[in-house]
Structure 1
Amino acid sequence: MWLESLKSSLPMHLYNVTQVEMTAHVRTSPDKVPRKVTFRITHPNSCSLKYDELDGSLRDMLEASGIEPKEPKAATPVLPGAEQAAAVA
């Protein structure tokens, strides 16, 4: 894959990607010209897509691909000594 060849030619440990800009060419019907939708995904949890029907479809595709930003799940706080109590029980 091209990503593997990119990894071998660039020192990837020197880069920290925090934002990606993408352009999707979306054909809503066979007889129409594809519409270009440009959007950004930004670390830690931001996406510039709107919530209309077309952008919602793109959000669904991103989610299906595992890259749609989601609100982080609330972590359950661990109380001091709780790990020891669980191990004893």
Structure 2
Amino acid sequence: MTSWLLDGLVVFMLLATAVSVLASRSLFRAVVMFIAFGMLMALAWVRLQAPDIALAEAAIGAGLTGVLLLDAVAHFRRGPDKERGGAS
């Protein structure tokens, strides 16, 4: 009985974070919620007894992609001129 409750909670949290990513007006918040979604997805894979896929999801889906998206948000906020020293 408790495993069904845990699985239902994970599904609900996955849906809530997915909607939060799509509805967010802040890029930074959307990326952070995307990382949280990836970690919850890794937990879902563990619950489905697929630890290899869970590890890949945590490392690539949440970790690497999250870091790359955070770097892209930082570059986007900085603007194209500031990175090249102000000359265009």
- Using structure 1 for the length normalisation, give the TM-score: 0.25
With normalisation by structure 2, the TM-score equals 0.25
Structure number with bigger Rg: 1
Of structures 1 and 2, the one with the larger relative CO (CA 8 A, separation 6+) is 2
